[in-house]
Every structure is written in C-alpha cells, then in structure tokens.
Amino acid sequence: MPIGERLKQLREDMDVSQGVIEKKTGLLRCYISRVENGHTVPALETLQKFADALEVPMYKLFHEGDGPAKPLKLKGTKHRESNGEVKELDKFRRLMLKMNARDQKLVVMLAGKFVRGSESKPSR
C-alpha cells in the first residue's frame, strides 16, 4: 500500500481530520491532501510528524501488523562476495539505527558526495 493511502487510512480509522493533523504537525492541509493522494512523497522527518500527530509508532505508517515487521531473510546469492556485502549492509543498517537524526543526515550526505565524486572520475 502506498504511504499516502496508509496515512489516510490511519487518519480515518482514528476519526481525525486533516485539520487536526495540520494543527499538530504545522503542515498545510493542502500538503497533507497531496501526500494522502499520492501526489507528494514526504521526507522521513515529515513522516515522523505524521506518526507523532496520529500518536502511533513510525513503523505503523509502513506496516499493518501488531508489531514491527520482521526483517527480510535473504536467500542464497550467486556471488560469494554478496554474502559479505549483505553482512556489511546489515551491520551498517544497525549502526545507522543507533545514530540520531542529525548524524544520519550527515552520513547520507557524505555518501552522496562520495558517489557523485566517483562517478565523475574515470575508472582504472
């Protein structure tokens, strides 16, 4: 289910109007409508505002079950190095979860700069 539809479903299930969400989040009602109708994809910070306004944990915006979704288990891979990469990515994910939002933004920004920098340099 797209995130906008999920937000609308949660809001309507709790019998909360867009006006109430507007007051609790500081987001304009027209923006809330655009998100709910799939015209705009909100940033993570904005999703946190929605979760706070609806008084639900963030995972509820993405998952309909009672608890957080279980992590996906990756089946065997074709390349040996992929298993090592999966482990490294999982380790990175766990470390990112321990960081505060400001540090997470910094890491993402730096990663973007590294990627853009390596794309402009010719490979050897």
Overall number of domains in the chain = 2
For residue range 77-107, what is the model confidence (pLDDT) as tens digits? 454 555 667 788 788 888 888 888 888 888 8
Global pTM? 0.55
Is residue 99 a contact partner of residue 107, using CB atoms and an 8 Å limit?
A: yes
Same domain? For 89 and 40 the reply is no
Same domain? For 37 and 87 the reply is no
Domain assignment present for residue 69? The answer is: no
Report the C-alpha gap between 88 and 85 in whole angstroms: 5
CATH number for the domain that contains residue 20 = 1.10.260.40
Report the C-alpha gap between 43 and 17 in whole angstroms: 21
Report the C-alpha gap between 13 and 41 in whole angstroms: 21
For residue 10, pLDDT beyond 60: yes
Report the C-alpha gap between 124 and 122 in whole angstroms: 7
For residue range 13-54, what is the model confidence (pLDDT) as tens digits? 999 999 999 999 999 999 999 999 999 889 989 999 999 999
Q: How many CA atoms lie within 13 A of 118 on its CB side?
A: 7
Same domain? For 13 and 56 the reply is yes
Residue type, 63: H
pLDDT on residue 95:
83
User: Domain limits at 86?
Assistant: 80-120
Same domain? For 52 and 85 the reply is no
pLDDT on residue 100:
85
